[in-house]
């Protein structure tokens, strides 16, 4: 794999990840762009002990443009996009409308004595999986999936070394039902200046399990139990297992986990990286086959924090959809949005059965 760095017209970083060593990436960004926006605000919510990002500049971000105006397509002729090259394999670049960035911003010290405010320092990046606008992750080759994984590993290490970054989160949103603003197949990476609420909750549970068992790893023990039970396992190979959690929150939710406990994507060895693509592509195609239509989904990589509690983590990918039937979506209404208590309409065992048969 060949890695080539450059700067866009407004100073943002872009990195090409090419599968050919002879790829030439010397095309400059010929656009005239305004400076990137300053960092957002982070406001502390004392009622939940959580930080909330206020990023007002994101109101003007690009929203579902027609295909001939997609900013993630290659630049061809006078049609200039975020990627200066006329073709590419995998590209990562700083988001033009970031929720978090490394650019300084003036912020008040507090809104009230209970609500401190600080700059939303961190980083948001876009990961383009292919130059083909009409493709999807499920249509990629195993070789391309491996390239994507290499890019995510590269960025996890680089972003984790930025001052103040505490967690790196790689994810993909797919489908207008999920809320995507661009149709081109792509993912995102957020580098947070704090450990996120979901991860803090999972780490606390893992810590309690370690203390109870005298050193056990909660996720590894849970994965072993699911593999032994077998009822909710959808797919498996020598290095990975894809299973529906017994307490799944979403109608169709699958965890894809390496059988060997590792804290993050960079810790995967070559065999694990090679084995991920074929299994994951099979799973995505099963998702699309459930209702014979493209399945909206979120694919969220759970990685250990950068600096703390890494021994408690176990890398896994959480893939889930809000579609519960061909003509029905799962909405987060009163119980879920108001109280954070999920009610699942599809039994996890039935979901696993349907996915195995898809």
- Positions marked catalytic: 186
Q: What percent of the chain has pLDDT over 90?
A: 96
Residues 85 and 76: their CA atoms lie apart, in Å, by 8
Pair (185, 74) in one structural domain: yes
pLDDT higher than 80, residue 196? yes
Pair (169, 246) in one structural domain: no
Residues 224 and 200: their CA atoms lie apart, in Å, by 23
Residues 94 and 104: their CA atoms lie apart, in Å, by 16
- How far CA 56 is from CA of 41, 116, 279, 344, in Å, comes to 9, 18, 40, 34
Residue 203 lies in a domain: no
Structure tokens at 326: 């061909």
Q: Whose structure tokens read 């799944």?
A: 248
pLDDT band at 105 (very low <50, low <70, confident <90, very high): confident
- Tally the domains of the chain: 2
- How far CA 187 is from CA of 36, 42, 59, 130, 313, in Å, comes to 20, 23, 20, 11, 23
For position 333, what pLDDT does the model report?
93
Among 239, 235, 271, 268, which Cα is nearest to 254's?
Answer: 235
Structure tokens at 70: 């997609």
Average pLDDT for 345-353: 98
Q: Whose structure tokens read 């909660």?
A: 218
Residue 54 lies in a domain: yes
Among 144, 321, 355, 121, which Cα is nearest to 235's?
Answer: 355
Residue that finishes a domain, picked among 194, 222, 247: 194
For position 218, what pLDDT does the model report?
98
Residue 298 lies in a domain: yes
Residue 204 lies in a domain: no
Average pLDDT for 149-165: 97
Q: Dihedral sign for Cα 319, 324, 326, 329, please.
A: negative
Residues 276 and 94: their CA atoms lie apart, in Å, by 26
Q: Whose structure tokens read 């195993």?
A: 142
Residues 118 and 107: their CA atoms lie apart, in Å, by 6
pLDDT in tens, 107-139: 888 899 999 999 999 999 999 999 999 999 999
Pair (319, 222) in one structural domain: yes
CB 184 within 8 A of CB 72: yes
Pair (222, 181) in one structural domain: no
Residue 136 lies in a domain: yes
Q: Per residue, what are the HEC states of 33-76?
A: CCCCCCCEEEEEECCCCEEEEECHHHHHCCCCCCHHHCCCCECE
Pair (291, 349) in one structural domain: yes
Pair (155, 273) in one structural domain: no
For position 305, what pLDDT does the model report?
98
Residue 206 lies in a domain: no
Pair (164, 231) in one structural domain: no
Pair (300, 175) in one structural domain: no
Residue 199 lies in a domain: no
Residue 35 structural domain: 2-194
Pair (168, 225) in one structural domain: no
Q: Whose structure tokens read 């105006």?
A: 69
pLDDT higher than 80, residue 104? no
pLDDT band at 203 (very low <50, low <70, confident <90, very high): very high
The pTM (predicted TM-score) of the whole model is 0.97
Pair (118, 84) in one structural domain: yes
Residue that finishes a domain, picked among 194, 222, 240: 194
Q: Which domain CATH number covers 108?
A: 3.30.428.10
Pair (218, 142) in one structural domain: no
Residue that finishes a domain, picked among 142, 164, 194: 194
Residue 87, helix vs strand vs coil? coil
Residue 341 lies in a domain: yes
Pair (189, 230) in one structural domain: no
By CB neighbour count within 10 A (0-12 exposed, 13-18 middle, 19+ buried), where does 86 fall?
Answer: exposed
For position 48, what pLDDT does the model report?
96
């Amino acid at each position: 794999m060949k890695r080539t760095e450059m700067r866009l017209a407004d100073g943002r970083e872009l990195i090409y990840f090419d599968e050919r060593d002879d790829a030439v990436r010397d095309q400059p960004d010929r656009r005239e762009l305004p400076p990137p926006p300053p960092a957002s605000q982070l406001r502390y919510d004392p009622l939940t002990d959580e930080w909330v990002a206020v990023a007002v500049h994101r109101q003007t971000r690009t929203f579902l443009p027609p295909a001939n105006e997609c900013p993630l397509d290659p630049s061809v002729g006078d049609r200039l996009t975020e990627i200066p090259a006329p073709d590419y394999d995998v590209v990562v670049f700083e988001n033009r409308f970031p929720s978090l960035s490394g650019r300084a911003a003036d912020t008040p010290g507090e809104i009230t004595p209970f609500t401190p405010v600080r700059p939303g320092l961190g980083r948001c990046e876009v990961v383009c999986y292919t130059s083909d606008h009409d493709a999807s992750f499920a249509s990629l080759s195993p070789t391309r999936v491996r390239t994507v994984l290499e890019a995510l590993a590269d960025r996890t290490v680089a972003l984790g070394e930025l001052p103040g970054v505490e967690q790196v989160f790689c994810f993909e949103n797919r489908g207008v039902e999920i809320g995507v603003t661009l149709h081109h197949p792509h993912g995102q990476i957020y580098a947070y200046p704090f450990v996120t609420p979901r991860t803090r909750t999972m780490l606390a549970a893992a810590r309690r399990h370690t203390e109870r068992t005298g050193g056990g790893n909660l996720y590894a023990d849970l994965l072993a139990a699911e593999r032994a039970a077998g009822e909710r396992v959808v797919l498996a190979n020598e290095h990975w297992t894809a299973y529906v959690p017994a307490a799944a929150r979403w109608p169709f939710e699958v965890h894809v986990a390496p059988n060997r406990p590792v804290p993050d994507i960079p810790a995967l060895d070559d065999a694990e990286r090679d084995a991920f693509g074929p299994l994951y592509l099979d799973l995505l195609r099963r998702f699309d086959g459930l209702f014979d239509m493209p399945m909206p989904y979120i694919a969220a990589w759970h990685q250990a924090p950068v600096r703390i509690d890494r021994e408690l983590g176990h890398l896994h990918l959480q893939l889930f959809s809000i579609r519960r039937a061909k003509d029905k979506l799962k909405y987060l209404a009163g119980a879920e949005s108001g109280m954070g208590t999920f009610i699942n309409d599809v039994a996890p065992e039935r979901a696993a059965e349907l996915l195995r048969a898809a």
